[in-house]
Structure 1
Amino acid sequence: LAGYREADAALGGLGERLDDMARGVRDAVNGVLATGYPASGPTANATSRPVAVLGASLGPQLDGPVSATSFNVTLTNLSTGAETTTTISFNPESQSLSDLSGQLDGVGNLNASLSTDGRLQLQADSGFGFDFAPRGGPEDPGGVLGALGFNAIFAGQGAADLSVSSAVRQDSRLLALGQAPGAGDGRNAGKIADLAQQGLAGLGGRNPGEAFSSILSEVGDRAAGANARLESSSTLEASLEERRSEVSGVSLEEEVVDMLRFQRSFEVAARYLRVVDEMSRELTGLVR
């Protein structure tokens, strides 16, 4: 996608559509992973993407469609394995990031706070870890956790900079491909694979293949139009050149013949002058 984005100017300004597609795929995949269980197990801390106004409604500040939602947060005692699950309900249209922080801070053994740059920071008590896996419960249908960037695999704001997050590149076990603890749980991996055939909200209801094919089709149409205009311009140029030659009465073939004739005449004259010069020198030598 980045390569196509760099060619945006030449392709007639399709960059915004490529950016929309990149964000649509990013949000869909990150949304699945947000309520997943990573192979590395419960995490001790996590930080969200920043928002501009902590006390304002969260929805309008998030990059992507969100709605009223609910999700589970589970605190695990890392020594005993005991789990405590709490369901959080949240409406981003009427509640703020401060409200969400307050709810999460009320969960036992979990501390939530807001940073000065507008990020939600979560920290488990010592000896505990947490996760957002549904365990058969709600899976954040409103997409708030995904929009905030929890468990995200993709980073970037558009086609030019879409990339795998540095944390996942360093440790692939952070991929939240399961929905509950236990080896072999890859239900989220299956969900991500299914996205290829699903209509995504961020892509106007089309699946990724359809969205990309639509962009390529438009690129092809614009390229064909550009080629047609180029051929038309070339034909017009040739016609004008022919007309100019007719009006001026100049024949390029005759001009070339005359040029060669003048060149040969110059060469003959040069040889003649060289012979005369040599003869003059010889005569001068005899006189001396």
Structure 2
Amino acid sequence: MLSRGDLTDREWAVLKPLLPTSSNRCGRWRDHRQVINGIIYRLSTGCQWRKLPARFGPWQTVHKRHVLWSADGTWERLLQHVQAVADAAGNIDWNINVDSTSIRAHQHAAGAPTSPPAAPPGSSKGASVLSSLARTRAPAVVPGGGGAAGEALGRSRGGLTTKIHLAADGKCRPLSLVLTAGQRADCTLFEAVMDKIRVPRLGAGRPRKRPDSVGADKAYSNSLIRSYLRRRGIRHVIPEKRDSRTARWRRGSDGGRPPGFDKARYKARNTVERAINKIKQFRAVATRYDKRGYVFLGTVTAATLLIWLRS
């Protein structure tokens, strides 16, 4: 399956030049390939960190490496590089689609402290750096309130949930990710998802941020989203809600023209649903076990990186 298996030689050759070669701590990094393979194992199985097989080294090392790379943006930088290589080869379909999915959170995901603890006296410099990064990281985690909501956790009758808002290209691969509490409406995060699309150029030039077209379901059907896309010159296919259509008819000639709708283009919206299915093949994503929002975002980003590497 997509989520299983260690890094192949080809995949490792892509990631190796991009990984840090020195550490803020005394001593050397443990072998990056071994640690990443441990992270992949945990992604695919959803097991507890302390239950990692011994072949991946100390579980504390694997866990701390994942938390550090989630905090300092290493996972995101790796993902952007892989996307840039694909874009340079003309391998990205820029007819994108936007949607969201709810993730059930395990009961152990609750109870995170209101602020990351400071490094204890006598700890290594790396621990203090991680603590400061955790306080400022995760611009793609939208709190929506304090407490559990501050870690992108929402409460409902079904329990704690997190919502992943994403945009996917025409080949079922996520281009951008934003986390919120599970009760947040899809339409309120549309601009945040679009603004997170940023595919760098391998050579000179600005990163590409504007797709050729955008498809979305009726949850994104409102005048603010249509105006946003119109200002940016992006063609869009979003069906009109029945109540909006009725209100426009009631106003007569003052109601304006109906929005354009391309049925053939709208059929391609299934690509974002299939991208969600790919992400949820990873059990550590299908159920949230991470307490901190930025760490769970790193988990989802690492899973997305594997999707791009193995597509």
Flag whether TM exceeds 0.5 (same fold): no
Structure 1-normalised TM-score? Answer: 0.27
Structure 2-normalised TM-score? Answer: 0.26
Higher Rg of the two aligned structures: 1
